[in-house]
Amino acid sequence: MTEMLSMTKKSSAGQEKPSELADLGAVRLAALRCEYLQDPLGIDICRPRLSWQLRSERYGVRQNAYQIVVTADASAGLVWDSGRVPSDNSTQVEYGGPELLSRQRYCWRVRIWDERDAVSNWSADAFWEMGLLTSADWQALWIEPVQEPARPEPKINMFQNLGMISPQPDSDYSRLNPCLYLRKTFTTQGSVRKARIYATAHGVYRLEINGVRVGSQELAPEVTAYQGFLQYQTYDVGELLTPGANVIGAVLADGWYRGRIGLPGDSCQYGDKLALLLQLEVEYSDGSRQWVNSDHNFKSSSGPLVYSDLFIGERYDVGLELGDWHLPAYDDRTWQPALRADYGYANLAAQYGDPLQVVQEIQPAAILVTPRGETVLDLGQNISGRLRMRVHGPAKTVVTLDHAEMLDSDGNFLQAIRGRNKDQRDVYILKGDGVEVYEPWFTTHGFRYVRISGYPGEPGRDDFSGVVIASGLRDTGSFSCSDERLNRLQENIRWSQRGNFVSIPTDCPQRERAGFTGDAQVFGPTACFNMDVAAFFTRWLRSLRLEQRQDGQVPACVPYWNSYIEMFTPIQGGAHTSAGWGDACIIIPWTLYQVYGDLRVLQENYSSMARWLEYVRQEAEQGIPERLQADLPPEVRERQKYLWNTGFHFGDWLIPSLTGGYWNPFEASNATKEIAASCFYACCTDLMAQIAGLLQKPEDQQQYAALNASIRQAFAAEYLSEDGRLSAHYQGMYVLALKMQVIPEQKRRQVTEQLVALIVENGCRLDTGFVSGPYLLDVLCANGRRDIAYKLLFQTECPSWLYEVERGATTIWETWDAISPDGQISTDSFNHYTFGCVGDWLYRFVAGLDKDQPGYKHILIQPDLAGGLTHAGVSYLSGYGEIISAWKLQEGRLTVRVQIPPNTSASIRLPGADAALVGQQCLPGLLVSQVQDGRTAVLEVGSGAYRFEYPIDPVEVFSQ
C-alpha cells in the first residue's frame, strides 16, 4: 500500500511563480486536426470531431474555454460559431452546427481562454471537405470492362495449405488475369475553379489524367468488408486538367476483390469481374459545372500488365504497351466499350484515415552471389513493399525478381512461405531502348532478399530501391536507451508494425495478410505508442462490426473472407471465433479510449461489444466440458455457467515448449484454452462494466460487474489449488489470471511464486504465447518481481526477445525460434508484430511514461532504474502535444528530463529523491510535492519543461 508520508509544499501555478518566469507570451494554437487528420478531403462523418494543441513557453497552461468558428469555404459565410464554451477539452470536440453538405469545404479556426482567462489569438485556418453523403450524389455508373470472369482456385484443405501434408500445389499462372485499362476523352469548358474525382473499384485501381498519376494512394480502395463497406477516394485534380481535350485513364487489377488472398490463396472472394466507379466533377469560375462519369463511353483494353496479383506478383511486358493512350488523339478503335453494371451505391463510404502510400525508400545493403551462384540483393531490412529496378538491356530480355525474407543456413536464397500462391515473383520484359525503370503497381511482398535472374549486365546497388508501402501513419513514439539491443528491438517492433499496418492490421505480409483480431488486440497498446492509429483502427472496427455473425460471434479475422470460413469450419467445429480474438471488439476500442480519450469509438462499438459478450455468456452458460459430464455436485455445476470452458479456442497460441515452432500449433491451444477463455471472459466483463459506466448505462454496468464477480469466484474455485497452482501450469496462464483479476487478493503472492518458479525452471526464458505476452512483464512488476521481469528482458537465449535481436532479426518473428539455436530457418513468418507487444512496456516502464487519465490528460512519469541501464528516454506525441520522459545516470547523479504539454498535468515520481530538493527544481510548474515510502518524491506539475538532477544511491534505488 502506498503511504503518503509528508507534504512539503503546496502552491497553485500562477500565484507563486518567480517573476522572471511569469509571462513568456500568450498561448498559440497549432496542429489543428479533423477526425485525426490534417485538412481531410472527402470525409462523410456527419459530426466530425476537431482537435487542436496549445503551445506556450509558460508553465501550468490550461484551457478554460474555447470558441470554434466554421465558415463555408466559397462564400466564407458563417456556418457555426460555438461561442465561448467553458471546457478544458481540446481533443475530439464535436462539430455542433447545422447539417453538413456533400462536397462542401468547411474552414475552421479556434481560439481559447487559458487558465488566467486570457484569450489567445485565433489559430490559422484549417479545413475539412465533405465527400458524397448520399446515393443521390452519385451520377456515375458502375462499369465493367469486357473481360473473362476469373476462374476460382480449386479448393485445398488447411493442412495442405500449411505445407503439413504434401504436395502443396504450385501456383497456376494460367488462372491469372490481365490488368484492364480504361480511358475516356472529355473537353473542359472554361477556367477551372475546383475539380474533384470520387472513385472506387472492384479490384484495385490507379487513375491518371493526361498521363499524370492522380494522387499517390496505393492499392485504392484498400481492403474493407466490401459487402457493406467499400471506400471511395476523393482526389483534388484541378491542377491536372488542361484547357480543351483531356483524357482520363484508369487501370484495374484483381486486388483483394478477386485476387488470391489469405492463407488459403483462394481467389474471387467478392466477385469474378473487375469494375470501376468514377465521377469527375468540375466547377468553373463562372459557377457552371461539368460531370465526367464512368459510363459506356469509357473504353477498355488489356495492356502491358499481363497480370498483377497481390501475392503472386506482377508481370509487365513492355512489348504490350499501349502507346499514347493518354493523349486525346489516340486511336482507341480496337478498345471495347465498357459495360454498365448495377452494383448500386449502398455500400459506399468515404475513405477514412490515412491512405496506403509509399512511406519510405531503402537503399540496398548489398548484392550477394550466393553459394549456389545466384545473384541476391539484400535490402538489409525486412519490409513490406516492392523493389524499384533500373535496367538497361536488349529488348525482350526477361528479368525475374523473386522476393523472400530469409536466406537458408548456407546463405542461399530461400523461398519458403507456407500456403498456396505465395510466389512473390515479379517479371519485367524489357523494351530495349535505353535505361528503363520498373516498379510494380498492384503487388507487394514481404521481403528482405530479392533473387535477380536474367538481369542484363552486372546489377549494382544503385540500380535498386526498396519501396516500403504501408498506411501513412504518423510516427508518434520514439524510444532509446543505453542498450543498443533494446533499441534494435524497438526498431524491429516498429518495422513489423509498418509491415503489417497495411490498410488493416495484418498478421504477416508474406503468408496471409489477414486481419487477425487476436494479434491486433495484443499489439494494440504498442501500436498506439509507435504511431497514430486512432483512425486506422476505427476504420477496421467498422469492418469488424459488419463481419460480426448474427449470433454475436466476432470472427478470428476481419475482413472474414469465405476462404477462411471454409478453412476454419472443420477446425473450429463450426465456430468462427476464439477467446482473445473475438474479444478484440471490446479491447481495441478500450485501448483507443485510453490512448486518445476517444469516447465515440466506445459508443459506436457498444452494441457490437454487448452482442459479443452475450454470445460468450450463452456459450459459457450452456457448455459443460466433457470431462465434467458425469454427476456433478450442484455447486460445481452451478459455477460452470460462469466459466467459458467449452468450444474451440486458439488459447495461448504458440507457446514454444508446446508447439515446437509451428509444428503443433494446436497443442498450446488445447492445453490452455479453458483458462485463457475464462480469463478473457473476466477481463471483458470488467471492461464492459467500465464502458457502460462511461456511457451512462447504469443497469448494464451493474449487470456486467455482477457477472464479472461471479466469473472471478468460479474461476478460483475451479482452477486454483491450495498452493496457488493453476490446473494448466504454464507461464501464460498465471500471467492472464493475475492480470485479469481472477485470483483472490490473498492468493496473489502464491500464484506469483508459481509463475516465477516456472520461469526460473525454464532458465529465465520465455514460454508465453500470443495472448499472455503483453502482460507478462507488467504482471511480474506489479507483483513485486521486477528482478525476474528484467531477467526475461535481457535474456539472450532462445526463446527471448534479445535472442531474435542477436540473431540479426530486423522485424519480429511469428515464433520465438523461427531461427532455431542450431541455425535452422523455419517456414514461419519473420514479420509478425504480435510478440513485439513488449514495446509498450519498454515505453511505460523503463522510460517511464504512462497515462493516468484517458488521452494523457493526466500523465505519469516514473523512470525505472532497476534494469541496470544508464539512460532511457521516450518521446510521445499525444493529442495535447509532445511528452518527454528521459533519464540518465552518471557518476552518482540522476538527471531526469520531462516535458508536459499544455492543457495536461502530470505526476512525476522520482526514485531516491529528496522531495524538497527536486521540488525546488520544478518550481514554476509545481502544484504539490510529496514523499512516498520515504524513497520516492512525487511531484504534481502542470505543463512545462523540467529538468531534475540529484545525487542518487543506485544500490538503494535498484533494490526498491
Size of site (CB under 6 A) for ligand BGC: 11
Q: Which is nearer to ligand BGC, 36 or 650 (CB)?
A: 650
Name the segment binding ligand BGC (CB under 6 A); options: 23-31, 368-376, 480-488, 507-515: 507-515
The values of phi and psi at residue 395, to 5°, are -55, 150
- The rounded distance, in Å, linking the Cα atoms of 277 and 197 is 10
Please list, in sequence order, all residues whose beta carbon lies within 8 angstroms of the beta carbon of residue 607, skipping any fewer than 6 positions away: none
x/- site string to ligand BGC, residues 213 to 252, per CB under 6 A?
----------------------------------------
| 949 CB-contact burial (10 Å; exposed 0-12 / middle 13-18 / buried 19+) | middle
Among this protein's residues, is 814 annotated catalytic?
Answer: yes
Q: What is the CA radius of gyration of the chain?
A: 29
Q: Which three cell numbers stand for residue 16?
A: 507563486
- Given the DSSP bridges, would you call strands 425-429 and 28-34 parallel, antiparallel or unpaired? unpaired
- The rounded distance, in Å, linking the Cα atoms of 288 and 190 is 9
- The rounded distance, in Å, linking the Cα atoms of 56 and 399 is 57
Q: Which is nearer to ligand BGC, 518 or 873 (CB)?
A: 518
Residue 560 engages ligand BGC in binding (rule: CB under 6 A): no
Give me the sign of the Cα torsion angle 554, 556, 560, 562: negative
Q: How many CA atoms lie within 13 Å of 636's alpha carbon, on the beta-carbon side?
A: 11
Name the segment binding ligand BGC (CB under 6 A); options: 305-313, 344-352, 506-514, 844-852: 506-514
Among 423, 519, 686, 840, binds ligand BGC (CB under 6 A): 519
- The rounded distance, in Å, linking the Cα atoms of 687 and 679 is 12
Question: Which residue, judged by CB position, is nearest to ligand BGC in the bound state?
Answer: 507
- The rounded distance, in Å, linking the Cα atoms of 834 and 507 is 8
Name the segment binding ligand BGC (CB under 6 A); options: 384-392, 512-520, 676-684, 817-825: 512-520
Q: Which is nearer to ligand BGC, 529 or 564 (CB)?
A: 564
Residue 837 engages ligand BGC in binding (rule: CB under 6 A): no
The values of phi and psi at residue 631, to 5°, are -60, 130
Find the shortest distance in angstroms from Cβ 445 to ligand BGC.
17
Q: Which is nearer to ligand BGC, 796 or 827 (CB)?
A: 827
Among 486, 508, 658, 842, binds ligand BGC (CB under 6 A): 508
Write down the catalytic residue from 129, 144, 619, 814. Answer: 814
Residue 507 engages ligand BGC in binding (rule: CB under 6 A): yes
CB 798 within 8 A of CB 641: no
Among 209, 250, 391, 556, binds ligand BGC (CB under 6 A): 556
Please give the angle made by the CA atoms of 830, 157 and 565, to the nearest 5 degrees: 85
Residue 144 engages ligand BGC in binding (rule: CB under 6 A): no
- The rounded distance, in Å, linking the Cα atoms of 535 and 512 is 23
Distances in Å between the alpha carbon of 740 and those of 457, 705, 783, 938?
A: 61, 14, 13, 28
Residue 426 engages ligand BGC in binding (rule: CB under 6 A): no
Q: Which residue has the cell 471488439?
A: 585
614-653: contacts with ligand BGC (CB under 6 A): 650, 653
Residue 114 engages ligand BGC in binding (rule: CB under 6 A): no
Find the shortest distance in angstroms from Cβ 759 to ligand BGC.
24
Residue 718 engages ligand BGC in binding (rule: CB under 6 A): no
Q: Which is nearer to ligand BGC, 128 or 813 (CB)?
A: 813
First to last CA, the chain: 14
Residue 142 engages ligand BGC in binding (rule: CB under 6 A): no
Name the segment binding ligand BGC (CB under 6 A); options: 45-53, 269-277, 514-522, 594-602: 514-522
Residue 816 engages ligand BGC in binding (rule: CB under 6 A): no
Q: Which is nearer to ligand BGC, 335 or 770 (CB)?
A: 770
Find the shortest distance in angstroms from Cβ 669 to ligand BGC.
9
Among this protein's residues, is 512 annotated catalytic?
Answer: yes
Which helix H or strand E contains 940, and what residues bound it? strand 936-941
Residue 479 engages ligand BGC in binding (rule: CB under 6 A): no
Among 222, 512, 532, 686, binds ligand BGC (CB under 6 A): 512
Which among 531, 479, 478 is positioned nearest to 505, based on CA atoms? Answer: 531
Find the shortest distance in angstroms from Cβ 568 to ligand BGC.
8
The neighbouring-strand residues paired with 446 are 384
Q: Which is nearer to ligand BGC, 508 or 751 (CB)?
A: 508
x/- site string to ligand BGC, residues 648 to 677, per CB under 6 A?
--x--x------------------------
Q: Which three cell numbers stand for residue 416?
A: 519458403
Write down the catalytic residue from 218, 512, 619, 718. Answer: 512
The neighbouring-strand residues paired with 897 are 886, 947
Q: Which is nearer to ligand BGC, 131 or 509 (CB)?
A: 509
- Given the DSSP bridges, would you call strands 905-911 and 858-861 parallel, antiparallel or unpaired? parallel
Find the shortest distance in angstroms from Cβ 514 to ligand BGC.
7
One-letter amino acid for residue 424 of the chain: Q
CB 181 within 8 A of CB 322: yes
Find the shortest distance in angstroms from Cβ 549 to ligand BGC.
16
Find the shortest distance in angstroms from Cβ 573 to ligand BGC.
15
CB 22 within 8 A of CB 13: no
261-280: contacts with ligand BGC (CB under 6 A): 263
Residue 518 engages ligand BGC in binding (rule: CB under 6 A): yes
- Widest distance between CA atoms in the chain: 89
- The rounded distance, in Å, linking the Cα atoms of 372 and 379 is 19
Q: Which is nearer to ligand BGC, 281 or 507 (CB)?
A: 507
- The rounded distance, in Å, linking the Cα atoms of 307 and 393 is 23
Residues catalogued as catalytic: 512, 814
Chain positions contacting ligand BGC, by CB under 6 A = 263, 507-508, 512, 516, 518-519, 556, 650, 653, 832
